[in-house]
Amino acid sequence: MAEAHPAETRITLRNVGSIDPEKIEDYLNAGGYRSLAKARAMPREAVIEELVAASLRGRGGAGFSAGLKERFTRQATAPPAPPAPPAPVYVVCNADEGEPGTFKDRIIMERDPHLLIEGILIAAHAIGAARAYIYIRAEYDTSIRRVRRALEQARERGFTGGNGASPGAGGAVEIEIRLGAGSYLCGEELTLLESLEGKRGYPRIKPPFPAEVGLFGAPTLVNNVETLATIPAIIDRGAAWYTGLGTPDSPGTKIFTVSGDVARPGYYEVELGTTLRELIFGFAGADKLKAVLIGGAAGTFVDASVLDTPLCYDALKEKGAVLGSGAVIVMADGRSLRRMTTSILEFFEHESCGKCVPCRVGMTLLVRMIRRKEPLEALVRESEYMAANSLCPLGQSPILPLRSLARYFPAEIDGSEG
Ligand SMILES: Cc1cc2nc3c(=O)[nH]c(=O)nc-3n(C[C@H](O)[C@H](O)[C@H](O)COP(=O)(O)O)c2cc1C
Ligand code: SF4
């Protein structure tokens, strides 16, 4: 699905289908690496403040301000004290893409890998990092191959790699690919850092946040692929242009991956604030809607009453829903929400790392409870206990789909349905 829908607003996907992702010349001819040159001519703080002004929110799920994260990372970095070498600081690109129903980062890496590299290099310049890592799930063969090839080309052209300049300046940034082994939890930023350090994928206690104590104890900027790939356009065209798109609380565009009962499943980049109705009926061709799961397994179910709500962080929150990673799974009349919820809870049970009791035992309990057709109210209560007592966000996730079911489909899980 390379062709853009005529009503899409493609910024991050602007080159998809029009360039050969294996040719750096194509990317350069499309204006590629122009933003990097512009950013490197700017003071680091000016790059950071441009991103703060653009109000770009992280596209990995949590929606935290990308500019503020860079500012905090920069502030936590010890100033250079010559003749000692500068203190380490890292950029980590989260390309684990483990949320069910989400496949947007794969499209960027497969179809326009240089855009991601350019975004990483601008972020590295902003925080003064000399080293960056891209943590890609090992199943993403084509993404890995394309990003690897693009890195070789970027190095040949002097965009990355040591070139004698001082670390963090000019092109002296090393970017390395590291492969994840398919653990959902390793997409969580602190667990990801443990995995990058070669340790078992167990989460760390937060705070401290990675901006202060991240990879190998150094300040670290962790951003999602889509977030980083949005940076070049903001540097090129400016924060004022970017905030003119989307809504005041959620500027810009977002890639949604639509699957399930639709005629045209796939990825769509649209302005935030587009309604769910436009996305699933207009773009993706849904029909006879029963429910939509927004945000993947750690997401929320909604019914047709939410169709005219703008897809943006705050409006969805008011409806008890989350935007999450942008996964949109459509269920038509006749689909069983019990079956869907059972498979979500089985997924969480499988992915729980077992480190803390409330989640390890709670996930197994939830699966048993739904199989025994216990009342939804009891499942929600158990998920509330887990949310309050689990060590990391995974144990705090089942409450999202369960509470949304209680709000929109209170009768679907109890009784004999499905
Ligand atoms: C269980 C779990 C899995 C996650 N998986 C991913 C993932 O695959 N990719 C991702 O970008 N963020 C994932 N996140 C969110 C990250 O922890 C983090 O918020 C994100 O990498 C920050 O980048 P952003 O600010 O650009 O969104 C996950 C979070 C949790 C709790
Ligand atoms: S909440 Fe679950 S995934 Fe997180 S540490 Fe505890 S057992 Fe592991």
* 264-282 pLDDT per residue, tens: 999 999 999 999 999 999 9
Residue partners of 114: CB distance under 8 A and separation at least 6: 21, 24, 27, 32, 33, 150, 153, 154
Under the phi-then-psi rule, with left for phi > 0, alpha for psi from -120 to 50, and beta for the rest, what region is 194?
A: alpha
**pLDDT band (50, 70, 90) for residue 165:** very low
413 has a pLDDT exceeding 90: no
Task: Give domain 24-243's CATH superfamily.
Answer: NADH-ubiquinone oxidoreductase 51kDa subunit (3.40.50.11540)
Q: What is the DSSP track for 117-143?
A: HHHHHHHHHHHT-SEEEEEEETT-HHH
Average pLDDT, the chain: 94
Give residue 83's pLDDT.
Answer: 76
Task: Choose between 18 and 80: higher pLDDT.
Answer: 18
- pLDDT (average), residues 286-311: 97
Give residue 171's pLDDT.
Answer: 55
d(CA 332, CA 20): 37
Does ligand 2 come within 6 angstroms of the Cβ of 352? yes
Alpha helices in 2-140 (DSSP H): 24-29, 34-40, 44-54, 66-76, 104-111, 113-127
Structural domain boundaries in the chain: 24-243, 253-332, 337-408
Give residue 2's pLDDT.
Answer: 55
- pLDDT (average), residues 82-104: 92
Q: For residue 96, give the DSSP letter.
A: -
Q: Which residue matches tokens 């670290």?
A: 220
Does ligand 1 come within 6 angstroms of the Cβ of 184? yes
If we measure between CA atoms, which residue out of 99, 177, 194 comes closest to residue 138?
A: 177
**pLDDT band (50, 70, 90) for residue 415:** low
Q: What is the DSSP track for 316-346?
A: HHHTT---TT-EEEEEETT--HHHHHHHHHH
**pLDDT band (50, 70, 90) for residue 86:** confident
Looking at 5-14, 292-301, 362-371, which range is the least confident one?
5-14
Q: Which ligand is nearest to the CA of 186?
A: 1
- The H-or-E segment that residue 177 falls in is strand 174-180
- pLDDT (average), residues 124-131: 96
168 has a pLDDT exceeding 70: no
If we measure between CA atoms, which residue out of 112, 149, 150 comes closest to residue 19?
A: 112
Fill in the amino acid letter for 12.
Answer: T
- pLDDT (average), residues 99-112: 98
d(CA 255, CA 190): 24
Does ligand 2 come within 6 angstroms of the Cβ of 183? no
Give residue 172's pLDDT.
Answer: 85
If we measure between CA atoms, which residue out of 211, 248, 238 comes closest to residue 71?
A: 211
d(CA 336, CA 382): 22
Give 322-347 pLDDT, tens digit per residue.
Answer: 999 999 999 999 999 999 999 999 99
CA of 8 to the centre of ligand 1 (A): 25
Common-topology check for domains 24-243 and 337-408: no
- pLDDT (average), residues 257-262: 98
Q: What is the CA radius of gyration of the chain?
A: 21
**pLDDT band (50, 70, 90) for residue 82:** confident
51 has a pLDDT exceeding 70: yes
In terms of CATH architecture, what is 337-408?
Up-down Bundle (1.20)
CA of 64 to the centre of ligand 2 (A): 22
**pLDDT band (50, 70, 90) for residue 1:** low
Residue from 390, 397, 399 whose mutation best tests the ligand 2 pocket (most atoms within 8 A of CB): 390
Task: Choose between 168 and 173: higher pLDDT.
Answer: 173
Q: Is CATH 3.10.20.600 the right assignment for the domain spanning 253-332?
A: yes
How far is residue 198 CA from its own chain's centroid?
Answer: 22
Give residue 3's pLDDT.
Answer: 72
pTM strictly above 0.75: yes
d(CA 39, CA 29): 19
Cis peptide before 113 (omega within 30 of 0): no
**pLDDT band (50, 70, 90) for residue 68:** very high
Give residue 162's pLDDT.
Answer: 66
Does ligand 2 come within 6 angstroms of the Cβ of 355? yes
Contact 363, 292 (CB under 8 A): no
Give residue 169's pLDDT.
Answer: 47
- pLDDT (average), residues 370-375: 96
In 249-360, which ranges are E strands? 253-260, 266-271, 289-294, 300-302, 327-332
If we measure between CA atoms, which residue out of 314, 264, 310 comes closest to residue 285?
A: 264
Give residue 380's pLDDT.
Answer: 98
300 has a pLDDT exceeding 60: yes
Does ligand 2 come within 6 angstroms of the Cβ of 190? no
85 has a pLDDT exceeding 80: no
Burial pattern 32-60, b for ≥16 Cβ within 10 A else e, equals: bbebbeebeebebeebbbbbbbbbbbbbb
Does ligand 1 come within 6 angstroms of the Cβ of 230? no
CA of 325 to the centre of ligand 1 (A): 8
6 has a pLDDT exceeding 70: yes
d(CA 195, CA 202): 8
Give residue 5's pLDDT.
Answer: 84
If we measure between CA atoms, which residue out of 255, 353, 263 comes closest to residue 311?
A: 255
